Amino acid sequence: MRVSFKTFGCRLNRAETAQFEAEFGTAGCEIVPFGTEADIVIFNTCVVTATAEKECMRLIRSQRKKSPLALLAVAGCAVQTVAAERLCSLGADLVIPQSKKDTLVSIILRHMGIKSLKDSEFTPSQNLSRALLKVQDGCDFFCAYCIVPYTRGQPRSVPLDDCMKKAAAFITAGFSEIVVTGCNLACYCHGATRLPQLLAELASLPGLGRLRVGSIEAGTVEIEVAQLMADNDKLCRFMHLPAQSGDDFILSRMGRRYSSGMLAQNIRKIVELVPDIGLGTDIITGFPGETKESFGNTRAWLASQPLNNLHVFPYSERPGTPATDYEDMVPPAERKARARQLIALGNELKIAYANTRVGQRNDLLVERFDENGLAHGWSGEYLPCAVSGVQRDRLRKLVAFAPERADGGTLSGAAS
């Protein structure tokens, strides 16, 4: 039986899809690329923006026309925001609510007349170059622009033992990098184990190449995680702290839990602990009420911080969130213009940081080879790399090299 997936949105969705692929493989199914002939097509949806939701709906309708005999199943956040009746009218045969998402594979197999999974150990999907370890789901921060708490529910954490067993299976399967992911990682809590303790346990696993941490909400556990990075070289020297704005009025209006000054102070502590760390952030431009002055404050704040990876996007109304009802909306054209300014600033910051890594030992995780034989992937600091002299059998492995140059923020050199 052939199964294909279309996964939208965040890394957490990709981690869940990888889990489903592994379970279908355990059941004896064949995973095939989306768009090829399949008996089962699963949409793991995203509705973080209204545009994302519309694209999910469009592809479900299109796939129904292309695959009239296939079973179409819909899961993910769209199930919480779009009526099941509408999803079925677009072509879905099964709509799997978030509360039952963990049993998606069993639900679909039962629907197909297969009573149970094969009794065998978890075997990770090989469709990714980095292992995605989901340790947490849900969020209760309720930021004014975000639909996620309404679609994924309250925070829930995967038990420590389960995290360790799955991480060990990834290592056995040959993955050199494990990415720890969740809806709101800072909320991880199982018994007395919080995120820093979980990371320390994972970093102690025999055979682990390196451990990468997903986005961490500012003002939570970032200092403790930085201390762990300083003490343990298995952790990638990169941290993503989604600021969203550098203006205190806008931060308050967004419902964020910190001020720009508090975040700047925490960033200084992080850099003191890990001087060569790569730092990323998310920024929303044109949030309701963002004046030219408040945007200027954000731009100045970003320019003053040791950040090197900016993920910038213009504000997009997401029906169902408080911000949609705010007055003093910023015109869409102005939102985009401000985003372009910060994207340009981000490119400058990235290039400047990459230049500091030239001549410094780095480890590349090989994700692909180009037509010239160069290995491409990411450094521990989350910089793109292009490295010569790497054998083809090193795919998904770590390769040491000392960058000879930084071309537009990409580290280049030869394997050691």
**119 pLDDT higher than 80:** no
Residue 189's CB: how many other CB atoms inside 10 A? Answer: 15
Q: Has residue 21 been placed in a domain? A: yes
Which ranges constitute the DSSP H helices of 67-204? Answer: 78-81, 84-90, 104-111, 148-152, 160-172, 195-203
Instruction: Please indicate, yes or no, whether residues 73 and 171 belong to a single structural domain of this protein.
Output: no
- Specify the pLDDT at position 27: 86
Instruction: Please indicate, yes or no, whether residues 140 and 52 belong to a single structural domain of this protein.
Output: no
Instruction: Please indicate, yes or no, whether residues 97 and 185 belong to a single structural domain of this protein.
Output: no
Instruction: Please indicate, yes or no, whether residues 73 and 168 belong to a single structural domain of this protein.
Output: no
Half-sphere exposure of 231 (CA within 13 A, CB side): 11
Q: What residue numbers bound the domain in which 10 lies?
A: 2-111
Question: What radius of gyration do the chain's Cα atoms show?
Answer: 22
228: domain CATH number is 3.30.750.210
Q: Has residue 348 been placed in a domain? A: no
Q: What is the pLDDT of residues 7-17, one digit of tens each?
A: 998 889 999 99
Q: Has residue 122 been placed in a domain? A: no
Q: Has residue 159 been placed in a domain? A: yes
- Specify the pLDDT at position 117: 57
**Number of domains composing the chain:** 3
Instruction: Please indicate, yes or no, whether residues 107 and 139 belong to a single structural domain of this protein.
Output: no
Instruction: Please indicate, yes or no, whether residues 169 and 213 belong to a single structural domain of this protein.
Output: yes
Instruction: Please indicate, yes or no, whether residues 222 and 150 belong to a single structural domain of this protein.
Output: yes
Q: Has residue 107 been placed in a domain? A: yes
- Specify the pLDDT at position 388: 96
- The mean pLDDT value of the chain amounts to 94
Q: Has residue 312 been placed in a domain? A: no
37: domain CATH number is 3.40.50.12160
How far, in Å, CA of 352 to CA of 55, rounded? 36
Structure tokens at 20: 């489903």
Q: Which of 191, 215, 236 is at the close of a domain?
A: 236
Instruction: Please indicate, yes or no, whether residues 155 and 86 belong to a single structural domain of this protein.
Output: no
Burial 283-318 (b: 16+ CB within 10 A, else e): bbbbbbbbeeebbebbbebbeebebbbbebbbbbbb
Burial 30-54 (b: 16+ CB within 10 A, else e): ebbeeeeebbbbbbbbbbbbbebbe
The answer to whether 283 and 305 are in contact (CB under 8 A) is: no
pTM of structure:
0.90
Rounded to 5 degrees, what angle do the CA atoms 118, 122, 124 make?
125
Instruction: Please indicate, yes or no, whether residues 11 and 90 belong to a single structural domain of this protein.
Output: yes
Instruction: Please indicate, yes or no, whether residues 155 and 229 belong to a single structural domain of this protein.
Output: yes
Instruction: Please indicate, yes or no, whether residues 99 and 145 belong to a single structural domain of this protein.
Output: no
Instruction: Please indicate, yes or no, whether residues 155 and 101 belong to a single structural domain of this protein.
Output: no
Amino acid at 373: G
- Specify the pLDDT at position 157: 97
Q: Considering only CA atoms, which of 213, 275, 276 is closest in space to residue 240? A: 213
Q: Which of 173, 207, 236 is at the close of a domain?
A: 236
Q: Has residue 52 been placed in a domain? A: yes
Q: What is the pLDDT of residues 272-293, one digit of tens each?
A: 999 999 999 999 999 999 999 9
Q: What is the pLDDT of residues 254-266, one digit of tens each?
A: 999 999 999 999 9
Which residues share a beta bridge with 322? none
pLDDT band at 120 (very low <50, low <70, confident <90, very high): low
- Specify the pLDDT at position 115: 66
DSSP structural state of residue 135: E
- Helices 332-356 and 292-303, packing angle to 10 deg: 10
Q: What percent of the chain has pLDDT over 70?
A: 98
**All residues at 6 or more sequence positions from 308 whose CB lies less than 8 Å from its CB, including other chains:** 278, 279, 280, 349, 350, 352, 353, 354
Residue 76's CB: how many other CB atoms inside 10 A? Answer: 27
Q: Has residue 179 been placed in a domain? A: yes
Q: Is 30 left (phi over 0), alpha (psi -120 to 50) or beta?
A: beta
Q: What is the pLDDT of residues 360-405, one digit of tens each?
A: 999 999 999 999 999 999 999 999 999 999 999 999 999 999 999 9
Provide mean pLDDT across the span 75-104: 93
Q: What is the pLDDT of residues 192-236, one digit of tens each?
A: 999 999 999 999 999 999 999 999 999 999 999 999 999 999 999
**121 pLDDT higher than 80:** no
Q: Considering only CA atoms, which of 73, 3, 18, 67 is closest in space to residue 45? A: 73
Q: Which of 85, 111, 137 is at the close of a domain?
A: 111
